[in-house]
């Protein structure tokens, strides 16, 4: 067993650091910002499609910031969140990602605070237009201007139309949002235009082909190869010159704590998290991997993993091994819930992601553990009134009300 935080890593970093500095001084390579943090991590940078900018292999996702009250997503632990974001930037992260709805609207506010004291100049900033809040063309300007105010900046580097799918694409067309993106680029409020995506491959290709996008953001990881945009979508977007940002690299944490059957397949030379991230960094089409970090420990671990990352880093055997792990997940028939909480709040008080977590644990940890978690829920699955309000919001298209019926039977 290797403990990745210790051992020779620090010394290796010192060596890489010296070589990097030498190469830089001889003009052989380009270094963006100071990439060597206090712990000696060396950030890796990648081409971002045809934009002409280089982005850090790791991006800081601000959708799962630490909170002081787990039942209130708005209660961000500001001091710790600011410390984490600044630590990431100090160690070379140059892409910080937030969105209008994250943490009930508070993520943009806290990110704005984190980027004071000179940090805005050291990083690029991404946020997203909540397309579902747009009813007319003018809403674009109203919302973007509100976001700039919350973020305490005069421009956003990467602006995305958030969570596009077939329905929201209609809104984009009806409210002329592509024209609005061009206008915002022209007046300097945004630098690059993109979209994040949750739907099928054909819809993805249709959207890619419909505009001169600079980049896109897709859900992708070693078990989502054929899901949503999938591997084909990744390659398609990259072939069209788009930078590709990856979200849900750990599928809402599911790949970080794999079931016993998968643990037996993953060699313990790396943590399950590192295997999942390396799968992405191995691919030349991936520009940037976003990680929604919740603790300083996760931030430090991710910086260390990014330090070791490079294109082509996995052997054929490694890739085949991850294929086996995917096969095991596929046969476990668990609910593909990423705990994004877009479906919340449920008007009848159900904690939908936690209910699914308990259900999924019946396959991964056994009935006893799953029941323990299920018993902590204030409202059980039988409280679901099948209103299906949640289903409209779920980017994974989960038939939530139907599965609640199954869950009632499983835990009866
Ligand atoms: S369908 Fe059930 S879980 Fe979904 S919002 Fe309605 S009551 Fe809540
Ligand atoms: S059910 Fe869907 S919307 Fe709700 S947390 Fe899970 S993935 Fe997100």
pLDDT at 73 exceeding the cut of 70: yes
Q: Of the residues 250, 346, 398, which should be mutated to test ligand 2's pocket, given the most ligand atoms within 8 Å of the CB? A: 398
Which residues have C-beta within 8 Å of that of residue 202, sequence separation ≥ 6?
A: none
Query: Considering the chain, what percentage of its residues have pLDDT values greater than 90?
Result: 78
C-alpha dihedral (165, 169, 170, 171), degrees to nearest 10: 110
pLDDT (0 to 100) of residue 263 = 92
- pLDDT tens-digit series, residues 230-245: 999 999 999 999 999 9
What distance in angstroms lies between residue 389's CA and the mean position of ligand 1's atoms? 6
Q: Which of 165, 168, 107 is nearest to 132 (CA)?
A: 168
Q: Which atom of ligand 1 is nearest to the CA of 386?
A: 1
Q: Is residue 98 within 8 Å of residue 108, measured between CB atoms?
A: yes
Protein residue with least CA distance to atom 6, ligand 1: 387
pLDDT of residue 38: 53
State the pLDDT at residue 365. Answer: 73
Q: Residue 329 above 70 pLDDT?
A: yes
Examine the pLDDT at 7 and tell me if it is beyond 50: no
Question: Could you tell me the CA-to-CA distances from 246 to 48, 116, 251, 313, 378 in Å, in that order?
Answer: 12, 27, 11, 17, 34
Distance (Å) from CA 401 to ligand 1 centroid: 6
Q: How many CB atoms lie within 10 A of CB 182?
A: 15
Backbone dihedral angles phi then psi of residue 361, each to the nearest 5 degrees: -65, -20
Alpha-helix residue ranges (DSSP H) falling in 68-118: 78-90, 106-114
Reported confidence tier of residue 23, pLDDT bands at 50, 70, 90: very low
pLDDT at site 37: 53
Distance of alpha carbon 183 from alpha carbon 197, whole angstroms: 22
Atom nearest to 336 CA in ligand 2: 7
Query: Which amino acids bring their CB within 6 angstroms of ligand 1?
Result: 346-348, 350, 352, 384-390, 400-401, 404
Q: What mean pLDDT is reported for the chain?
A: 89
Q: How far is the CA of 387 from the centre of ligand 1 (A)?
A: 5
Q: How many CB atoms lie within 10 A of CB 195?
A: 30
Ligand 1 centre distance from Cα of residue 261 (Å): 32
Task: Measure the CA–CA gap between 114 and 343, rounded to whole angstroms.
Answer: 28
In short, whether 342's Cβ falls inside 6 Å of ligand 2 is: yes
Q: Which residues are CB-neighbours of 79 under 8 A, at least 6 positions away? A: none
Domains in the chain, CATH or no CATH each = 43-329 (3.20.20.100), 352-410 (no CATH)
- Closest-lying ligand to the alpha carbon of 335? 2
Running DSSP on this structure, what letter comes out for residue 177?
H
pLDDT of residue 12: 35
In this prediction, residue 297 carries a pLDDT of 96
Q: Are strands 156-164 and 215-219 parallel, antiparallel or unpaired?
A: unpaired
Our mutation pick for probing the ligand 1 site, out of 342, 344, 346, 349, counting the most ligand atoms within 8 A of Cβ, is 346
Spell out the long-range contacts of 368-376 with Cβ–Cβ below 8 A and sequence spacing 24 or more: 370/411, 371/411, 374/411
Rounded distance between C-alpha atoms, residue 353 and residue 336, angstroms: 10
Q: What is the pLDDT of residue 6?
A: 33
Give the separation between CA 289 and CA 339, rounded to whole angstroms: 18
Atom of ligand 2 nearest to the CA of 339: 5
Express each pLDDT in 99-109 by its tens digit: 999 999 999 99
Q: In this structure, which ligand is nearest to the CA of 228?
A: 2
Residue with tokens 């069209």: 240
Determine the pLDDT at residue 27. 37
Pocket probe for ligand 1: among 337, 344, 348, 397, the residue whose CB has the most ligand atoms within 8 Å is 348
Instruction: Give the CA radius of gyration of the chain.
Output: 21
User: Are 270 and 313 in contact, with CB atoms under 8 Å apart?
Assistant: no
Question: If you take atom 2 of ligand 2, which residue's CA is the nearest one?
Answer: 394
Average pLDDT of the segment spanning 304-312? 96
Q: State residue 2's pLDDT score.
A: 32
Q: Report how far ligand 1's centroid is from the alpha carbon of 383 (Å).
A: 8
Residue pair 343/352 in contact (Cβ under 8 Å)? The answer is: yes
Residue 383 CA: nearest ligand 1 atom is 7
């Amino acid at each position: 067993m290797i403990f990745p935080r210790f051992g020779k890593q620090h010394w290796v970093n010192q060596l890489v650091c010296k070589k990097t500095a030498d190469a830089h001084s001889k003009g052989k390579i380009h270094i963006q910002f100071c990439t060597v943090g206090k712990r000696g991590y060396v950030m890796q940078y990648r081409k971002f499609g045809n934009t002409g900018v280089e982005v850090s292999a790791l991006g800081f996702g601000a959708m799962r910031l630490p909170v002081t009250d787990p039942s209130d997503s708005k209660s961000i632990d500001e001091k710790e969140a600011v410390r984490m974001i600044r630590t990431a930037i100090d160690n070379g992260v140059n892409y910080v990602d937030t969105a209008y709805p994250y943490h009930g609207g508070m993520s943009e506010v806290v990110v704005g605070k984190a980027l004071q004291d000179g940090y805005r100049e050291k990083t690029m900033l991404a946020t997203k237009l909540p397309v579902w809040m747009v009813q007319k063309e003018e809403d674009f300007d109203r919302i973007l201007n509100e976001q700039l105010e919350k973020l305490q900046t005069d421009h956003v580097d990467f602006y995305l139309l958030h969570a596009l799918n077939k329905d929201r694409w209609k809104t984009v067309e009806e409210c002329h949002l592509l024209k609005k993106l061009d206008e915002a680029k022209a007046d300097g409020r945004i630098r690059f235009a993109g979209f994040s995506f949750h739907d099928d491959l054909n819809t993805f290709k249709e959207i890619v082909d419909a505009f001169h996008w600079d980049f896109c953001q897709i859900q992708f990881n070693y078990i989502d190869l054929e899901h949503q945009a999938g591997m084909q979508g990744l390659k398609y977007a990259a072939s069209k010159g788009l930078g590709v940002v990856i979200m849900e690299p750990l599928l809402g944490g599911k790949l970080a704590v794999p079931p016993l059957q998968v643990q037996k397949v993953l060699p313990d030379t790396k943590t399950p998290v590192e295997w999942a991230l390396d799968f992405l960094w191995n691919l030349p089409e991936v520009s940037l991997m976003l990680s929604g970090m919740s603790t300083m420990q996760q931030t430090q671990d991710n910086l260390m993993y990014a330090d070791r990352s490079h294109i082509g880093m996995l052997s054929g055997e490694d890739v085949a091994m991850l294929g086996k792990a995917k096969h095991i997940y596929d046969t476990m028939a668990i609910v593909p819930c990423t705990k994004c909480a877009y479906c919340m709040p449920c008007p009848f008080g159900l904690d939908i992601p936690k209910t699914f977590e308990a259900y999924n644990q019946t396959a991964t940890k056994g009935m006893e553990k799953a029941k323990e978690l299920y018993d902590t829920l204030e409202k059980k699955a039988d409280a679901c009134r099948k209103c299906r309000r949640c289903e409209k919001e779920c980017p994974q298209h989960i038939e939530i009300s139907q599965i609640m019926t199954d869950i009632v039977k499983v835990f009866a």
